[in-house]
Amino acid sequence: MFTAGITSSSSRRTVFTCQSVHDPAQVVASGERLVGANGADYFLYLQQKKGNPLGIVYPQDGAPLVVSPSAITRSAPRPNAARLFTDFIFGKEVQQFLSDSEGLYVPTPRTSPNLQL
């Protein structure tokens, strides 16, 4: 999409570490950087709604929405139950629920059929 601009701009190839999860969308929208990486894509959607011409790129097979950290500890008393719960929260039904009822963006083809991947 913007590959030519990225490869020809040697002055902006240094890594810039942001102070906040809000910053990557703002730095790209302002033109300070050409590319930003951020797990909180809703900040990019907010910049798009403000009229900033930002593009968002997802993996071809989509990406699940993680609303909070999820882990199964080594000493979990019921690891199989924990795995079942993890499968449940990342399953189509819950991801669709988060997309439909909570207004959250779930970038997978199953939950957002019009998503450009």
pLDDT band at residue 98 under the 50/70/90 scheme: confident
CB neighbour list of residue 102: distance below 8 Å, 6 or more residues apart: none
Residue corresponding to tokens 């030519």: 4
CB-based burial label for 37 (10 Å; 0-12, 13-18, 19+): exposed
Do 77 and 48 share a structural domain?
no
Do 72 and 51 share a structural domain?
no
pLDDT at 27 over 50: yes
Report the percent of the chain where pLDDT is more than 90. Answer: 13
Per the structure, how many domains does the chain have? 2
Do 53 and 23 share a structural domain?
yes
Dihedral over alpha carbons 56, 21, 100, 82 (to 10 degrees): 110
Do 69 and 44 share a structural domain?
no
- Greatest extent of the chain over all pairs of C-alpha atoms, in Å: 54
Instruction: Report the chain's mean pLDDT, rounded to a whole number.
Output: 76
CB neighbour list of residue 74: distance below 8 Å, 6 or more residues apart: none
Q: What is the pTM of this model?
A: 0.45
pLDDT of residue 5: 46
pLDDT at 6 over 50: no
Task: Give me 7's structure tokens.
Answer: 């490869």
Q: Is residue 9 part of a domain?
A: no
> What range does the domain containing 96 cover?
60-117
